[in-house]
Structures are given as C-alpha cells and as structure tokens.
Structure 1
Amino acid sequence: MKIALIADTFPPLRTSGAVQLRDLSREFARQGHQLTVLLPSAELDGRWQLETLDGVRILRLRAPRTKDIGYVRRTIGEFLMPFSMLRNLRKSPLAHEQWDGVAWYAPSIFHGPLASSLKRSSKCKGYLIIRDIFPEWAVDMGLMGRGLPYRFFAAVARYQYSIADVVGVQTPGNLSYFDSWSRQPGRRIEVLQNWLADAPVGHCSIRLDDSVLAGRKVFVYAGNMGIAQGMTIMLDLAEQLRARTDVGFLFVGRGSDAKTLAADAAARGLDNVLFHDEIHPDEIPGLYAQCSVGLVALDPRHKSHNIPGKFLTYMQSGLPVLANINAGNDLANIIRQEQVGFVCENNSLDTLQQLAMTLLQALDGEEPFKERCRALYARLFSPETAVSQIVAALNGGQRK
C-alpha cells in the first residue's frame, strides 16, 4: 500500500514518540509498503524538504514552531500547523500524490485538517493512532478546568476523531471513552498496543562502573520528568533506601521537573542518586544492561489508561519494573498478570518501599524476570503486529 503517515515528532528528536514512529516507519518499509512521513518543521528555509531514510520517504513541511515554547504560543502554532503543512505540501513534488490510506499520530490533536484533505483527495480510509486522550488527562491533572480553553481543545479533538474511520487506542481501558463515537456507521475502535523495535546492546555514554553507583543494584528511570509523571515519590523512595549501600537510583532525561528534582536530591544529600541528561535512544539498551530495575511513574491524578514507552524499553531489555501509577490503570494488570515486576496504585511511600524491598529480594533469588519481560515484549509490543493491524484497517476499501 501507498500510505501517508502524519506526525509532529520524528528523529532527530529523541522523544519516545519519535523513536516509536521511526520504528513503525521502518517496519512499514520492511513489509513492502510505500510509506511517506509528513512532518512539520520550523527550521526549514524553504517550504519543504524531501529525503529518504531506511526506505521511507520523509517530507518535512515548514510550519510554526510548537516545541519548547510557552503554552499560548504553542497552541497558536499547533492550530496553524496543519494549514501551513497543507499549503506547503501543495508546493512540493508530492502535491498530487494519491494515497491508499492515511494514518496520523496523536499527540498532536491538531492534525485533523491535513488528514481530512489527504483522505478526501485520495478517497481512502484514515487511521488515528491515539496515545493519550487530551484534553481529558490535563483536566484530571488539574492543569486545566472545564472552561473555555478546555472546550476549545475538546472541539479540536472531536473534529480529529470525526475524520478517522478507525481509532487505535493504547489499552482496553480506553475503549469506553469512544463508545458514542464508535456507534456511528463506518467507524471502528480497537486496541493498538504500543510498539518498539528490538535493538542490540551497544555503546552507552553513561558508565555506571565509573560513578557513585558502581557495584549497586540500580533502579533506573529514563524519559520525560514532568507534571504528568509525579516523580517526587521516587526521590522519597531513594531517601528511604539510602542506608542500603547496595542500591542506587539513576534518572536520565529531561522535562519541566528534571532540574527541580536534581536540586531536591542535592538538597537532601542523597548520595545514592545520580541524574544525567537525556541520551540518544540507541544508547538505551546499553544503559539498561547496567541496571537492575526499571521505574515507571504516573501521577495518581490520571484517570485514563497509559502504557508509557519506557515500559516497553524495560521489557525489551529484560528489566523488571517497579511502578507507581494511577489506580485502575490497565498497566497494573499487565505487570501483575505477566509477573514482570511490582506496582503501587495508592501512591503510598510505605507501599512502594515494601514493594521495592520485595523486588530486591526476588532479584537475589531465581525469579526468571528477564525471560518473562522479553516474552511479553515479543508477544505484545512488536512493530510487526502494529503495522499489520494498521494496514488491515486501511485496506478495507474506500470510505463511504
């Protein structure tokens, strides 16, 4: 099939979304499909830039800046983004391209106008890959009320949903949110698990054997450290375990809370904690090979279900997890049923500490954590499964 994939993140960005979309695009090409990724770029001098990477065409289209800026400017930039992309697409060599299917990745929620235009001109189906339900999660977190900004974002999200023929959500728990949407003729909702391509263990710029954590069992967190994660409890845990000279904590990444957390750790005098800036995604397997446990953190105020990309990287590397997440999240059932770690759902430091001690004890035993983690990754989280599922949905003929 000839497929257009719309997104707002892709390498050289190092976000989990960028890595996911890189792996997905490579798998589309490996399965013999002709994929073109359409991306906004604020750095282009011209209107467009066309390149080929790993058998995939990548068309970068000039659009307003939407990253690392204030909320108001970001909202304006994201609102204008699809219109700028569409205008510059019409000036590119792919202006008159016909597609067999259109897929787009949310976040962002603002891709609807571009997806609609491509679907209409090619008379093809559209697949929305939705990884978080915004603005609902922002309301859950107390970042937004249900006033005018919420109503604006909700209207944008509803328009995006209306464009899709099939919506793929992360977990079964998110299916109910789309109940009324899926009752309309020609629409279908399904679970599309997150995915991550297998990767070899290679070089890593972080060498724990040359750090204060040398010789310790290391709990590692690699990823965004922001409001949505609620990371403070992990520092509290590190403080509770500071007497354990065989245990350490490593936090790698960026985010709105990263500097605050590092300063907090220094103020507490935690000599069992190390912070490091984000590293290239290809270095992650080499990092995890030096660690014992992967940390997962989601703010307990979340009400939706979420399987963070970092959980997939832990499973891929055979690392059991210690998770502190919102109650009722589908991820808790996966961790318990698959026996790949321990999970706290009440945001209690005492509970989390008890689980950490139990996990440390299990690591000293003969629990086959690595085998179970790898088996779970291979069964649920491979790009092969995701691509086959998207293609099957798009291959159902023209939209009525």
Structure 2
Amino acid sequence: MNILFLTLHRISDLSERGIYTDLMREFVRHGHHVHIVVPAERRFRESTKMLKTNDAQILRVKTLNIQKTNLIEKGLGTLLLEYQYQRAIQKYWKGIKFDLILYSTPPITFNRVIASVKKRCEAKTYLLLKDIFPQNAVDLGMFSRSSFIYSMFRKKEEKLYQLSDYIGCMSPANVEYVLRHNPSVKAERVEVCPNSIEVDEKNLEYDRDALLQKLNIPMHKLLFIYGGNLGRPQGIDFLTEVLAANEECSDTYFIIVGNGTEFGKMERWFYDNHPRNACLLSSLPKQEYDNLVRACDVGLIFLDKRFTIPNYPSRLLSYLENRMPVLMATDMHTDIGAIAEKNGYGLWTESGNLDTFMEMVDFMATDRNRVRTMGEKGYSYLITNYTVERAYRILMRHFE
C-alpha cells in the first residue's frame, strides 16, 4: 500500500525514535511505501523540499512557526497548514495513488488536504487522535466555549471526524469521550489504538556514575525524573509545590528535563529557591537524555487539574521501557492513573493533592525492591499493550 502520513512533528529521518517514526518503520517492515509530510517552520529558514531515504519519502513543507511562538502566529500558521500541505502534495506526489491516509492531532486543520487526497485516490482514512481540541484550550482558559474561535475550531474538529473512516484513540476514556460528545460518530468507527513504540532491546553500555557526576546529580538517592514538555497543560504550579515539599526529604531527588512555554517560570522558581533536592535541565543530547532516564528510578507525569478531556502523555512509554514505576498527578478525567494502578506499575492522585503525592513519594522511597517489582510490571504491560507491532495490527485489520 501507498501510505500518506500527515503530522506536525519535525521528522528528518525515519531512523529517529518516536511514536510516529517507530510506527512508520513498522509499515515499512511490512512492505508498504511510506510518504510523510512534515512542517519546515519559518524559524528554521528552510524551503519546501523532499528528502528521500531507503525507507520513506519525507516532504518538508515551509510553514509559519507553529510551535514555540506567540498565539497569533501559532493560530495563523495552523490555519494555513492544510493549504500549504495540499499544494506541496500536488506538486511532488500528484501522480501517486495513495491507499491509506494517516494523520494525527494536533492539528485539527488538515480537512482540506485529507478531503482532496481521499477523493482523488479513493483512499481510506485513519485519525490517530492524540489531542482533543478546542476543548483542551477551553479547559486551560485560553478562550471560552461562546467565542468565535471555539465555534470555528469546533466545526473543523467535527468535519475531521466525519472525514475519518476510523478514529484511533489513546485509551478507553478517550473513546468514551469522543462518542459522548460527538453523537454523529458511529461507535464502530472508534477504537483504542494507543501510543506505541518499538522497544529498544539493545541496552547500550553507559557509565551511570559518570553521567550523574557530570550533571551534579546525587548517585545514592532515589531519583525521580520528569522528562518532556513544560507547558500550561502540565500544571507547573503543582510540580513546584512537589519540589518544595521534597526539600524536607533526605533520600529523594527530582530531575526536571524539558522545555516549553512554562520553562521560564520553572527556571525562575529554581533561581529563587535554590533547591538542594532537585535540578532543572533545559535540554540534553538525545543519547545522553536516554541514558539519564535509564539512570533514574521513578518516572513522573503531571497534568493540569482543570482538564475535562482524557489526556494520555506519551512520555509514559519511555518510563515503562526503562522498567520504572510511575507517579502521576492529573485531572479526574484521564484514565492513565487508573490503568497504571490496576496493572501495578504506578500510583495516582488528583493534581493539587500535595499530601497524597508526597505519601506516594515516600511509598517508593521506603522499599527499593518495590520500585523494581513495579517497574517490571510496567515493562510487561508495555510489551503486551504499547508496541508498534500491536498498533499496526489494530490499524491494518480494517484494510487487509
């Protein structure tokens, strides 16, 4: 099959690790021809061009800045995406008959290009639903449900669901949410197709002590790591409350690695408070970051308590892959914590519940064997549920 994949992620080579590159490599392994469209944001000063590899063709389309920019440019750039992608596909791949169109949210503004290719090629369509917009923006107070902005994007969201032959959701709570809030979508078109990765079995050698010493991280404390975006969705205020409370502990240390719109706020907190039991790292080379995750003991997930949509952060997968239990502080609507507790690899509390969260930290710190046991359960759950082999089978059963 000829596969067309539309995404906002900046992909340069299919060998990169990530939930989308891993899935595309799985399609290649099964003999499919993969064509990927990605943005070349204005800040990178690149023109539209096609990259050919042995595994796939990657069409990099010049766009406005969509990430790490102000809301005005982000909004305009998101709205223009479908026109820019459509023109580029017509120019470079007009003669290709695509059998399947895959696309992920965000954004919800691919309608025009999806409809055009679907009609021209009589292709099937599959939405990988990773973000429920515009409701997530309403939850965070970015605009109201009565605003013109909400109405415009809500219509685009509804149209995207109509164009999709199938919708793959990250968890059962996501499926339930989509069906409850979109009564025109038939239940047989919506399923769980979770975030997934290609599990790395290589376990490359690295010097743990040397890495921790280089980063000024204590070697003998129980290490908790948060890696990923530091933005409004993560509820950074509660994370800083946890860091402050952990200053009373003697044997636990928190490592925060990431960037995003709230990184400056987090940086100011570290500057003002000089914590002895935590550190903040803005970015690390990919291999060094992977090694740091391997060097830690417990993974962390934070989400803003105001969310009414069930988010399911993909950073969970790297924690499970590295056999780490996970502590979670989220809203009441996601099922990421319930799934973790049911399967024995994590603990959950509502974001803002500081006393319970610190009890969870203490629960981990008092028994290292418990940490290892829960980590092994998480790895087993990953192998059974969150591999690209399984995601590929879920997807392809509709098209074979």
Q: TM-score, normalised by structure 1?
A: 0.90
CA contact (8 A) 1:171 1:191 kept: yes
Kindly state the Cα deviation for residue 95 of structure 1 after the two structures are TM-superposed: 1.5
Instruction: Quote the Cα distance in structure 1 between the aligned partners of 2:53 and 2:350.
Output: 45
Alignment of 1:1-400 (within 5 A): 1-12=1-12, 19-42=18-41, 43=44, 46-52=47-53, 55-92=55-92, 94-146=93-145, 147-179=147-179, 181=182, 183=184, 188-199=189-200, 200-202=202-204, 207-210=211-214, 211-345=216-350, 347-365=352-370, 368-395=373-400
How far apart are 1:74 and its partner, in Å?
1.5
- Partner of 1:167, secondary structure, is strand
Residue type matched to 1:121 in 2? Answer: R
For residues 289-327 of structure 1, what are the alpha-carbon distances to aligned partners after superposition, in whole Å with 9 as ceiling and x for unaligned?
A: 211111110011111112211111101110111111111
Instruction: Name the SS of the counterpart of 1:69 in structure 2.
Output: coil
Query: 1:372, CA displacement in angstroms?
Result: 0.5
Aligned CA RMSD, in angstroms, stands at 2.4
- Structure 2 unaligned regions, length at least 5: none
Q: Comparing both chains, which one has the higher relative contact order based on Cα–Cα distances under 8 Å and sequence gaps of 6 or more? A: 1
Q: Which deviates further from its counterpart, 201-210 or 337-346?
A: 201-210
CA contact (8 A) 1:66 1:77 kept: yes
Q: CA deviation at 1:140?
A: 1.4
Structure 2 distance, partners of 1:62, 1:243, is 50
Query: How far is the alpha carbon of 1:51 from its aligned partner?
Result: 1.7
Question: Residue type matched to 1:307 in 2?
Answer: Y
Query: Residue type of the partner of 1:209?
Result: Q
In structure 2, the CA distance between the partners of 1:384 and 1:337, relative to structure 1 (3 Å rule), is same
Compute the displacement of 1:363 (Å): 2.2
3-state DSSP class of the match of 2:53?
strand
Where do 5+ consecutive residues of structure 1 fail to align? 396-400
Distance 1:367 1:286 in 2: 18
The CA deviation at 1:44 is 6.8
Say if 1:134 and 1:343 are closer, same or farther in 2 by CA, change over 3 A: same
Distance of 1:346 and 1:84 partners within structure 2: 39
Q: Give the letter for the 2:36 counterpart.
A: V
What's the CA shift string for 1:38-63, capped at 9, x where partnerless? 2232457554323226x122122333
- Whole-angstrom distance in 1 between the partners of 2:207 and 2:264: 22
Q: Following the alignment from structure 1 to structure 2, what is the Cα–Cα distance between the partners of residues 20 and 281? A: 15
Cα distance in 2 for residues equivalent to 1:184 and 1:241: 46
Stretch deviating more after TM superposition (199-208 or 226-235):
199-208
Distance 1:183 1:161, change over 3 A: closer
When structure 1 is superposed on structure 2, of 158-167 and 278-287 the one drifting more is 278-287
Q: Is the 8 A contact 1:10 1:22 kept in 2?
A: no
Deviation for aligned residue 1:187: 6.5
- Residue-pair matches, total: 390
Distance 1:230 1:313 in 2: 21
- How far apart, in 1, do the equivalents of 2:121 and 2:188 lie? 18
Whole-angstrom distance in 2 between the partners of 1:155 and 1:183: 13
1:181 Cα deviation from its structure 2 partner: 4.6
Provide the secondary structure at the position in 1 that maps to 2:133. coil
Change (3 A) 1:391 1:283: farther
Matched AA of 1:39: V
Please tell me the residue identity of whatever aligns with 1:151: S
| Whole-angstrom distance in 2 between the partners of 1:224 and 1:185 | 33
Contact 2:302 2:351 in 1 (8 A): no
* Sequence identity (%): 23
Conserved? CA contact 1:10–1:19, under 8 Å = no
The secondary structure found in structure 2 opposite 1:40 is: strand
Cα distance in 2 for partners of 1:184, 1:300 equals 28
SS at match of 2:98: coil
Q: CA separation of 1:31/1:282 partners in 2, compared to 1, >3 Å: closer, same or farther?
A: farther
Aligned residues of 1:104 and 1:127 also touching (Cα < 8 A): yes
Cα distance change of structure 1 residues 45 and 213 upon mapping to structure 2, 3 Å threshold: closer
The offset of 1:385, in angstroms, is: 1.1
Contact 1:28-1:35 within 8 A present in 2 as well = yes
- Cα offset for 1:350? 0.8
* 1:344 match: secondary structure: strand
Give the conservation status (yes or no) of the 8 Å contact 1:219–1:292: yes
Q: 1-side partners of 2:269 and 2:19: how far apart?
A: 32
Determine helix, strand or coil for the equivalent of 1:195.
Answer: coil
**Contact residue 323 and residue 372 of structure 2 kept, 8 A:** no
Maintained 8 Å contact 2:329/2:350 = yes
CA distance in 2, matches of 1:310, 1:366: 19
After superposing the two structures, state which structure 1 stretch, 249-258 or 205-214, moved more. Answer: 205-214
Larger deviation: 346-355 or 145-154? 346-355
Q: Is the 8 A contact 1:288 1:319 kept in 2?
A: no
